[in-house]
Structure 1
Amino acid sequence: MGILRRLEKLVTNSLVMPNAMPVTETWRFSGWSKDQLIERIVELENASSNNSKKHQNVSNDTPVAKRPKAFDFSKYNTRFIALKFAYLGWNYNGLAIQREVTPLPTVEGILVDILLKCKLIGSRNIQDFKFSRCGRTDKGVSAMSQVVSLKVRSNLTDEEQSDPVNDARELQYVNILNQLLPDDIRVSAVCLRPPKGFDARYSCQHRHYKYLFNKQGLDLGKMEEAAAFFDGEHDFRNFCKLDGSKQITNYNRKILSAKILHVTGDIYCFDLIGTAFLWHQVRCMMATLFLVGQGLEESSLIADLLDMSKTPQKPIYDMADDLPLILYDCKFPEMEWLSANSNEYKAIKYNKIVTALNLHYQLKATVAQIFTNSLTLKPDPNVDFSNKIRINLGDGTGKVVTKYAKMAERQVMESAETVNEKYRKRKKGKSLKL
């Protein structure tokens, strides 16, 4: 390499060295003698070598932080418990963990992450700790009394776990989880000794839902009359989303109670209790009640949709919005639920969090009302809206149509049997390709 090129390279490399020549300084290489150039090269090479050794010594002399030992879950006792918790659903992509990537987290995904962080479970695979949920809720749907059962780490031996006297020595599951969970997911109670053979899904005796709505523009009497048709055991295939992957053949579900109840002010709810529900069943039921309440359909619509001889296939219609739907309660056999001591500092602290969250949304609602009042315009009497119909879907916006088509005149979806058969064929075709 030429002397000048070698010197240029050393000057460039010196920019990352301490006490190096500033990049803005220029050398008049052409005015230097050969001896001067060689002397400067040696100086820069020595500086580079010393700097490298210095960094190497620092690296060698610096103690390496000890890695924390992996937590060996197998060395600890475990116990089977049930947890009761509540959540506001609008920030989550439903309850259940989903295999596909979604833009929003799921409630269970958050819960499992926290259980792992607390070292209460030893695996992300829910099958490893006998995880079971009571009622699966969709994106946007909230729950006030959701229940899961699972096996978790314990401070006590199997013998000690069976005696309530030792409960005070057990891990404080409620406080531990609430300390790390988001403010809109709260554990309310734990059952340390569920009944023998307990399963959060299969031991549930009934689920209680509430769908909130504003009474404006609705005939509550007609809705109450229509809701009564839901009582009893019926085939609800016309009130759900058909899913071939589940291969459901029995769509019979039993409704224990279906009523229209007042909540507060202009807000009412469709109060529904049943032993089990199909996918999107409540929202489909509510959509048809809205049509009856608006006078677009007769109360007998419900009876017709429940009668497979009259309506063997589901007419195409939009289901009600997800936000107003609440899984209000889940009924189980008699169980001993333990809540955090309300007098303890931690319990008071977590209650304050919920109170603050409530105030936060109250303030937002008030600001939104003031916003609405400031923008509300008087309708122009010269504009005719008589040829437009806004179908109530529970979200305040609804769906605007020029002409309403009666349910009996609409196109129908494929039958449940066809949906199942198509899925089986697709699955078989994929397996043959593999």
Structure 2
Amino acid sequence: MSFISKLLRLGKNASKSLPEQCDYAKWSKEDLVRKVMELEAEKKRKAEDEGDQSDNKPKKVKREDLPEKKRRKKKDKPFDFSKYDTRFVAFKFAYLGWNYNGLAIQKEPTPLPTVEGTILEAMNACKLVPSMVPQDYNFSRCGRTDKGVSAMNQVISLNVRSNLTKEEQQDKNNDDKEIDYVHILNQLLPDDIRISAVCLHPPKNFDARFSCQNRHYRYLFHKDGLDIKSMEEAARMYEGEHDFRNFCKLDGSKQINNYKRNIERSQIIPLGENIYCLDLIGSAFLWHQVRCMMANLFLIGQGLEHQSLLKDLMDVGKVMQKPIYDMASDIPLILFDCKFPEMEWRTADPHNFKSLQSDRRVYALSLDYNLKSTVANIFRKTLCVPTSEIQGRTRINLGDGKGKVVAVYQKMLERGVMDSVESVNQKFRDKKAAKKRRRVPAS
């Protein structure tokens, strides 16, 4: 606004008594400045007078100035779960594990989120469950995967909010009236966690953990520098029931004494483009068992160990304590499938626009990783990175491409050993007893 325009506006609002014939164009600059200052002072006094008259009137308080509790809208009121029935269901889902700190939700904070924690947050956000405490709604999981490990057909079972009454839930004709669990959760979950199906009528006494008949794992690896035939022969030695205490991480908190597990199938199969996998099916697996099994197969494939090593490690009368060795990388491991009794899984309608949106997100994610893989290969070829081994040293294959470089390879059965099962269990009991004593006040 120009100086003269401002003067005219102020004059109009605050000094209507001025003679109309005032020709401001003929005033000097000093007179004009003085006049503007007088008009502004008069306007300020007028505003203060009006403010004094309105002091006794209630002032309108802005919403953002209110305390948080008073700012809440009606829809922010606590959700009343007592107004709804619940139903027991099972969910089948898949996830890529490298962005997560394993499957199971943890009591203590973890560097990365967990898969279960992410799913339960989504369920809590859309009011399917009342809290983030799994024990509150009969929660159970199928196979517990570690940090970095992926799963294609993982299963959980729990009680969730329902649109239907208990009586209506019994009639399968009402299934289409039920909450669209799959779509709602996929709208809230990240693209690398997808709910693939829901079972609204699980078998009687179903439990995602104990009703599982077998678990199917696959460990992917590149054939570079490996004798695949030797690995195929060795892998079949895992089949049958064996004591796998030398192929796992001992956990004193579980107080496990029986380390026998039955492996229904163990074989090396090709997946294309120089990629193979260890294909394993078993009723149950120990902590880190698959990665330890794969680590020993790598040693055999590299010619560092003989196939007989596996039989020796499974003979706990001969090798009573686990030798010290590094297990294989976590990223290539997949919980490929889980077998259950016959169940009615409801998947998303492939012709429905809602499911097409979710499918497109998965396609975009897959394409993104494929393109990045291609760019990474071009990057490697451009830099002419060699694949040959370091002369005079041994690189132990761990499935991650880097491995572990040692000056001299030491045979497995000549290495130091870890604590025995009995020692690990006893140490945990002693630690627990000492902790309990510290909590008891002195008399």
Distance 1:115 1:54 in 2: 50
Give 1:50 deviation, angstroms: 5.9
Give secondary structure in 1 for the equivalent of 2:392.
Answer: coil
Aligned to 2:27: none
The equivalent position to 1:276 in structure 2, one of 281, 284, 309, is 284
Distance 2:333 2:400 in 1: 11
- 1:259, 1:411 → 2: CA distance? 30
State yes or no: 1:177 paired with 2:185: yes
CA positional deviation for 1:250: 1.0
TM-score (norm 1): 0.85
Shift of 1:353: 0.5
Is 1:157 matched up with 2:165?
A: yes
For residues 199 and 306 of structure 1, the distance between their equivalents in structure 2, rounded to whole angstroms, comes to 31
The verdict on how the C-alpha distance between 1:278 and 1:50 changes in structure 2, with shifts beyond 3 A counting, is farther
Superposed CA offset, 1:168-201 (max 9, x none): 1011110010011000000000000000000000
Residue 373 of structure 1 aligns to a residue whose secondary structure is helix
Note closer, same or farther for the CA distance 1:75–1:95 as it changes in structure 2 (3 Å cut): same
Shift of 1:140: 0.3
Distance 1:315 1:169 in 2: 57
Give the structure 2 partner of residue 406 of structure 1. Answer: 411
1:266-415 alignment, distance < 5 Å: 266-377=274-385, 385-415=390-420
Q: Say whether 1:125 aligns with 2:133.
A: yes
1:60 positional shift: 8.6
Whole-Å separation in 2 of the counterparts to 1:116 and 1:185: 16
Task: Mark the runs of 5 or more structure 1 residues left unpaired by the alignment.
Answer: 1-42
Question: Secondary structure at 1:390's aligned position in 2?
Answer: strand
1:380-416 deviation line (CA, Å, top 9, x unaligned): 9xxx943100000000000000110001100000101
The one-letter amino acid paired with 2:398 is: L
Q: Partner letter of residue 413 of structure 1? A: M
Number of the residue aligned with 2:112: 104
| Equivalent AA in structure 2 for residue 354 of structure 1 | V
What are the Cα deviations for residues 128-184 of structure 1, in whole angstroms up to 9, with x where unaligned? 110000000000000000000000011111221122111110111100100110000
* C-alpha spacing 1:159/1:294, structure 2 compared with 1 (3 Å): same
Counterpart amino acid of 1:136? R
- The equivalences for 1:57-68 within 5 A come to 57-59=59-61, 66-68=73-75
Q: How does 1:174-323 map to 2 (within 5 A)?
A: 174-323=182-331
Tell me which amino acid in the other structure corresponds to 1:370. Answer: I
Question: How far off is 1:248 after superposition?
Answer: 0.9
How many pairs align?
Answer: 386
Where 1:58 maps in the other structure, the secondary structure is coil
Which of 413, 424, 432 does residue 429 from structure 2 map onto? 424
Question: Shift of the alpha carbon at 1:58?
Answer: 2.9
1:147 corresponds, among 155, 159, 176, to 155
Select the structure of larger CA radius of gyration. 2
Mapped partners of 1:352, 1:79: distance in 2: 30
CA distance in 2, matches of 1:51, 1:86: 68
AA in 1 matched with 2:59: N
Aligned-residue identity in percent: 61
2: CA distance, partners of 1:51 / 1:141: 71
Distance in 2 separating the partners of 1:378 and 1:308? 41
3-state SS of paired residue (1:121): coil
1:386 and 1:170, CA in 2 relative to 1: closer, same or farther beyond 3 A? Answer: same
Distance across 1 between alignment mates of 2:296 and 2:52: 82
- Partner in structure 2 of residue 74 of structure 1: 82
Distance 2:334 2:399 in 1: 13
CA displacement at 1:378 relative to structure 2: 6.5
- Given the superposition, is the C-alpha separation of residues 176 and 411 from structure 1 closer, same or farther in structure 2, using an over 3 Å criterion? same
Q: CA deviation digits over 1:41-81, x for unaligned, max 9?
A: xx9xx89x969959972329999654432111121011000
Instruction: Provide the alpha-carbon RMSD of the alignment.
Output: 2.2
Q: Could you tell me which amino acid in structure 1 is paired with residue 285 of structure 2?
A: F
For the residues of structure 2 that align with 1:198 and 1:67, how far apart are their CA atoms? 39
For residue 330 of structure 1, what is the amino acid of its counterpart?
Answer: C
Structure 2 counterpart of 1:353, one-letter code = R
Looking at structure 2, the residues matched to 377 and 267 of structure 1 have their Cα atoms a distance apart, in angstroms, of 19
Partner amino acid, structure 1, of 2:370: Q
CA distance in 1, matches of 2:214, 2:177: 33
SS for the counterpart of 1:197 is coil
Between 1:292-301 and 1:122-131, the stretch displaced more is: 122-131
Partner in structure 2 of residue 24 of structure 1: none
AA at the equivalent of 1:390 = R
C-alpha distance in 1 between matches for 2:288 and 2:357? 36
- The residue number in structure 1 matching 2:438 is 433
CA distance in 2, matches of 1:55, 1:322: 69
